[in-house]
Amino acid sequence: MALRAHSEETTALPVAQAVEALALLCGVYLAASPWIVGFNGTTTLTANNLITGIAFALLAGGFGSAYERTHSMSWAALGVGVWTIISPWVVAGHSFGTAATVSNVVVGAVCCVTALALAGMGVNRSRARR
């Protein structure tokens, strides 16, 4: 019961809701970025961004509804963010333009920051209660 109350307090904070919304927008942008930035002709990076964007959006969307059960998934979201940053160089067989690389690095960095912020919210609230 105390864990549930703590989680509800954490997710009710305006800062937590803003971070969640930003994380969800990052996931949606990442999924749509091949068509927004214009590198949808490169199918491997397009598929990569679509899949990782959907995964990140689903991870971020789960935090608001069940934070007490999903806050540890923010580490998986951090992994998705790191993968987004390095994927233009790892995805083999194509040379990507600077627009694709810059887009992935920026949105990946924002994904990492939001994932760390979501992970830290539970930790900070727990330490403040002690």
Q: Which residue in 40, 53, 31 sits closest to 99, CA to CA?
A: 40
CA distances from 40 to 37, 50, 110, 119 (A): 8, 10, 22, 32
What are the pLDDT digits (tens) for 21-61? 899 999 999 999 999 998 877 778 899 999 999 999 988 87
Roughly what angle, to the nearest 10 degrees, separates helices 98-129 and 43-65? 20
Show me where the domains of the chain are located.
2-129
Give CA separation, 23 vs 9, 11, 74, 90, 91, in Å. 19, 14, 10, 24, 24
Residue 64 burial (CB count, 10 A):
16
Please check the confidence at residue 74 and state whether its pLDDT lies above 60: yes
pTM equals 0.79
